[in-house]
Amino acid sequence: MTMRQVGITRRQFLAASGAGVLAAGVWRAGGAATLAPIRQGYQTNMWGMPTYYFLRSGQLEKHGIKFEEFAVPSGNLTMQQMVARQVDMGTYAGPTFILGHARGGLVAIAQIEQVGKTVRIMARKELGISKVAQLKGLKVANQTGASIANVFVDQIAPAAGLKKGDYQEVRMNVNDMVAAMAAKTVDAMVNVEPYNAIAEADGIATTIMNYWEVDKMPVFMAATSDFVEKHPDTVVAYLKAWLAVARDFTENRSKVADVIYSFYTSKGYKMSQDTFSKALAGVDVSPGFPSNVKPYMQEQADILLTEKKIPAIPDWSKALRPDFMERARA
């Protein structure tokens, strides 16, 4: 369910949403009538925080775009909203995008960030586990359907000699995993920041590995095919706004950190500035369309096809749309 709130201030919205992380929609005023409003989805883990900052930067308003926002725990949920045409744009990693393209014809309009350093496999501290192979017979929290889950199940676990059934996969949202680890209802988790940093700082879990050496996890901004066909000028203006915001991540990192930190504290998360800084450090924001996107996506699609999670390799000329970013840069 998506909770929509219209015509309220950011302070009122945060207060109303409380400690829980709920989907929400807020219309923003301003902008030219010639550009279409955008329904923006994002995840409330660290992968979605560049988009959260983007929405609060004022750049969309400067570029004449109204927006409505929808926050959910992870990107695979945003993808499902987009397939159902409840949301126009959203961010998630390559495997989830490929699934979304197969199910709903979604298209990638930009690579926004790389987040492989923010993904970790962690185990309860008292277990003393240091290798993935040691997870055999244990309960592993995993958000089924998410990109990080697919990479663990399809690549990392098999490489460590673990096949399906060698460990018990416990399905849950990433924002619920630290509590489950503390309660000892699971033994390990495949999770993202800031939840990994919180678990580490609180002495609940230790790191087995992060994903960077296996997968740098590029995160894409995807859009529905309907939206890009009907509103190409809005897509270009939207990407121009992203290019402007990207400068803050390199030139004004403290401002970015303050805005994002306030999001988590408003939700009731207790973490020090130092813990938060470590969590944010793993996010590399650089909107664009690198030349290595297609080979990477081909590799991910081959894995998903082998696992019978998609019916065919995507037509990349339809799935990947660098032309919008080229126009935005021009």
> Scanning the structure block, which residue is given the tokens 């995840």?
43
User: Structure tokens of 208?
Assistant: 């087995």
DSSP track, 93-121? EHHHHHHHHHHH--EEEEEEEE-GGGEEE
**Euclidean distance between CA atoms 187 and 193, whole angstroms:** 18
Q: Are 47 and 91 in contact (CB under 8 A)?
A: yes
Q: Are 186 and 177 in contact (CB under 8 A)?
A: yes
> Scanning the structure block, which residue is given the tokens 């339809």?
318
Residue 69 burial (CB < 10 Å; 0-12/13-18/19+)?
Answer: buried
Q: Are 171 and 144 in contact (CB under 8 A)?
A: yes
Distances (CA, A) of 70 to 25, 78, 86: 5, 8, 9
Distances (CA, A) of 163 to 1, 109, 158, 191, 308: 34, 35, 6, 20, 16
Q: Please give the angle made by the CA atoms of 242, 247 and 250, to the nearest 5 degrees.
A: 130
Per-residue pLDDT of the chain (330 residues; tens, 9 = 90+): 343 433 333 333 333 333 333 344 444 444 444 899 999 999 998 999 999 999 999 999 999 999 999 999 989 999 999 999 999 999 999 999 999 999 999 999 999 999 999 999 999 999 999 999 999 999 999 998 888 999 999 999 999 999 989 999 999 999 999 999 999 999 999 999 999 999 999 999 999 999 998 999 999 999 999 999 999 999 999 999 999 999 999 899 889 999 999 999 998 888 888 888 888 889 999 999 999 999 999 999 999 999 999 999 999 999 999 999 999 999
